[in-house]
Chains A and B, each alone.
Chain A
Amino acid sequence: MSLELRGITKTFGSLTANDSINLRVETGQIHAILGENGAGKSTLMNIVYGLLKADSGEILVDEKLVDISEPSDALNAGIGMVHQHFMLIPVFTVAENIVLGHEKTKKLGFLDIAGAREAIRKVSKDFGFEVDPDAIVETLPVGIQQKVEIIRALIYEAKVLILDEPTAVLTPQETDELLKTMQELKRKGTSIIFITHKLREVRAVADQISIIRRGKVVAAVSPTTSEGELASMMVGRAVDLAPVKHGHQIGEPILVAKDLTVRDAMGTAIVKSVNFHVNAGEVLAIAGVQGNGQSELARALINLEDHIEGSIQLDGSEIRGASIYDSLHAGIAFIPESRELDGLVGSFSIAENLILDLHDQAPYAKGINLSASTVLSEAEKRVTEFDIRLQSVSDAVSTLSGGNKQKVVIARELSRPVKVLVASQPTRGLDVGSIEFVHERILAERDQGRGVILFSTELDEVMALADRIAVMYRGEILEIVDSGVTREELGLLMAGVVTKKASA
């Protein structure tokens, strides 16, 4: 089935989110839509799926004009969508989630779950999925949950499947799996609209690439285009994909972790007796597949975890067991994994978020009085220094884009005297321009002689920034290697295979 968009325009107030967009997806084609956050990709897809109404423009399915004013129209026209944030009920089973909204009943109003199970098995068999219809959704890994969404679309006979940033939540392995699935779907004749800002994936699977910038299609290119070219078309200027690392003197150990163990509430060790250190002026990357204890280890470094054993020495003094406040003020800057959940108070203003950690210190506080004018004037300084794009520092931080939110977190954390920067997945979900900024900032901290501990699941990021790389697997640090290591060697370590040539 082919899908064509003609002259789609959508404005929100003074902002033109989509400016007469033309796009054509051929039958059995994977059409990637590439663009930065806020470029208008999601708006466009929400129009196609009937969640938003375009101001003008036409949608044609198989050369016939269709009127899509709500999602059910889209479903009837054969258009299915897998959202970035899954629309699943965590405590329901796979089968229950799939019948949700389309409940077929047997006599006496009983739900036809058996029928749903059968349909799931059939689709799974056709497309080579392995999904248990009776599994509770919240117990499944994220990659499988996404498959449930895809199965749901296929069961309702979607011929055009929209995948909105599908890899944002996936591990490298799950991403590979998804890309395979997409190719399988394509082989069976399903057309796919693949929305993303990750260049590598686009080049791996797409047949056709449309690049959207500021609401307009600025280029339609083939997947043979280089990553650098794609990135500069997305951002609208030349982009450094690999930040320049200056060679410089690495100093003395600034943070030393000895026999560090982190347990969960049940007493199970999530991080098992790890040993590592980071030197001043050095980036130590902690790589590994998501869920191997990195999150907990990062949190433990500022005593955010409840059950920590072992020792953490910052510049010679023990900080394990100190309060979070004391850990931060001893000189650790902490960029948490989830900026929305742990980094920012969404309903607070940008200015307030910038002083979340310093609100009770001079110059903001005099006694218990909080000086509103100082808070605002200092916020203006940070905004300029970190190039945070906003309308007013008094706006709620939740109105900012992901990249600017992350800048707020970074600006706040670096406004204290810092000895060590702990950054946990600092570029997750960010667009190319923001990633560039974060990378530069991390290297700048390193060049100024601070120790940086970078937790990242993105191999490219690890390879580009690290001086040394520690690989975590099932709560242990398998090996600490030099940055000269190859992707393949790292990949093996991340899968738990230990090679003989240990270094560092």
Chain B
Amino acid sequence: MAFTLTGLIIAISDAKVLAKFSSPLEFFKSALATVGNAYLALFQGSVYDVNLTKGHTFIHGFYPLSETIVTATPLILTGLSVALAFKSGLFNIGAQGQFIFGAIGASYVGFHFHLPVGIHILVAALAGALFAAIWGGIVGLLKARTGAHEVILTIMMNYIASYFILWVLKTQSFLRPGRIDPIAPEVNQSARLPLLAGANFRLNFGIFIALAAAVFVWWLLTKTTIGFKFRAVGANGQAAKTAGISVPFVITSTMMICGALAGLGGAVQVLGSEYALNADIAGSFGFDAITVALLGRAQPLGTVFAALLFGALHAGGRTMQSSTGVPLDIVLVTQALIVLFIAAPAFVRYLFRIKKMNTSASLTSKGWNG
């Protein structure tokens, strides 16, 4: 449905199509063609590109798909970070800042130390996760101790993180020799995540880390006593407290694990595809994560699929812009529409006159009183 509406927007935003408005039939044909081309480009840019195969092998056609996965990988991890927080009744807006700290940690260990292959990756990734876990844990501790609202805290922590990275990149230890712009040295070969489909593709081992993290979150939530505590506090904190569950423990440990997940996202981005820390490393991974987690209904598997969809939209959007001239912003509009339809189920029911179904466990996030 979101895609239909976006199609409408693509059509009316195209001047050539609008020019034919006087004759309805022509207008309709032209509109369909424009929209069709745009979506074809979106598909070619995100899954399989027919044009690319000319002169290349069949496999190269899948380059867009690999780009989709590469973009989705950090999103899965940040999305899980937000989703897990939702389950504990917390709104983690801070995935962005946690991502940055993860990237800094992984980058530093990656270029500064020389360790054997394998161990180096492990140490670098863990350093990233640890940095971010501390960063997230600070928020948890502050909320648990003082009752400060985590939304405010995480937003502020995001600001601190995004300026902290600018400062870090200007320090002697992070400055790349011979450069004066803020970019860190590339991480050593031994710390890079193995590529999965050869040097022509950026597809790397990171996707497996992300999928493993999704399994971990699922296991934690459904199979462990810690997850039981998290879910109890998330669903009814007062009852959980009355039954003797320590709410401060849940808040602090949730935020630490959330931080570690988002930080792992930053680490994967550095060690898997970017190699060098730069000021823009986090892009909007931390903010898109909120949408991804909402779209995935805060379920680990749902979050993975939502992240893949967003990865596809990002990767395909670039192709759509370059080959059909439909602006990249349209992709953002699509994303926004998807969220709108997900976040407002009552509106969708009204639109289609669907009777209220027994939707199990719809996602509830508490407001300011949470």
Interface residues of A (CB under 8 A from B): 302, 304, 323-325, 327-329, 334, 336, 341-348, 352, 356-357, 359-360, 364-365, 368-370, 372, 412
Contact A304 B241 (CB under 8 A): yes
Contacting residues, chain A, for B239 (C-beta < 8 A): 341-345, 356
Contact A334 B242 (CB under 8 A): yes
A341 to B226, CA, bound (A): 22
Q: Does B225 contact A (CB under 8 A)?
A: yes
Contact A328 B243 (CB under 8 A): yes
Contact of A323 among B235, B238, B244, B361 (CB under 8 A): B244
| Nearest CB of A to B146, in Å | 13
A465 to B228, CA, bound (A): 37
20 extra interface residue pairs, beta carbon distance < 8 Å, beyond A324-B241, A343-B242, A345-B236 = A302-B242, A304-B241, A324-B242, A324-B246, A327-B244, A336-B242, A342-B238, A345-B239, A345-B240, A346-B235, A347-B236, A348-B236, A352-B228, A356-B245, A357-B243, A359-B228, A360-B228, A368-B226, A372-B223, A412-B243
A357 to B246, CA, bound (A): 11
Closest residue of chain A to B242 (Cβ to Cβ) is A342
Contact A348 B242 (CB under 8 A): no
A352 to B225, CA, bound (A): 11
Contact A369 B223 (CB under 8 A): yes
Q: Does B292 contact A (CB under 8 A)?
A: no
| Nearest CB of B to A359, in Å | 5
Interface residues of B (CB under 8 A from A): 223-229, 231-232, 235-236, 238-246, 361
A359 to B228, CA, bound (A): 8
A264 to B103, CA, bound (A): 45
A358 to B241, CA, bound (A): 13
Contact A323 B246 (CB under 8 A): yes
Contacting residues, chain B, for A372 (C-beta < 8 A): 223
Contact of B246 among A325, A341, A346, A364 (CB under 8 A): A325
Contact of B244 among A347, A357, A365, A370 (CB under 8 A): A357
Contact A341 B238 (CB under 8 A): yes
Contact of B225 among A302, A304, A347, A360 (CB under 8 A): A360
Contacting residues, chain A, for B224 (C-beta < 8 A): 368-370
Contact of A325 among B223, B226, B244, B361 (CB under 8 A): B244
Closest residue of chain B to A341 (Cβ to Cβ) is B238
A341 to B235, CA, bound (A): 11
Contact B235 A348 (CB under 8 A): yes
Could you jot down 13 A-B contacts, CB within 8 Å? A304-B241, A323-B246, A324-B244, A325-B245, A325-B246, A342-B238, A345-B236, A347-B235, A359-B228, A360-B225, A368-B226, A369-B224, A370-B227
* 3 closest cross-chain pairs (CB), A and B: A325-B244, A356-B243, A345-B236
Contact B225 A370 (CB under 8 A): yes
Contacting residues, chain A, for B236 (C-beta < 8 A): 341, 344-348
Closest residue of chain B to A303 (Cβ to Cβ) is B244
| Nearest CB of A to B205, in Å | 28
| Nearest CB of B to A345, in Å | 4
Contact B241 A359 (CB under 8 A): no
Q: Quick one: given A328-B243, A328-B244, are A370 and B228 in contact (CB under 8 Å)? A: yes
A469 to B239, CA, bound (A): 29
A329 to B243, CA, bound (A): 10
Contacting residues, chain B, for A360 (C-beta < 8 A): 225, 228-229
Contacting residues, chain A, for B227 (C-beta < 8 A): 370
A364 to B236, CA, bound (A): 21
A341 to B237, CA, bound (A): 9
Q: Quick one: given A345-B235, A346-B235, A347-B235, are A356 and B240 in contact (CB under 8 Å)? A: yes
A95 to B356, CA, bound (A): 34
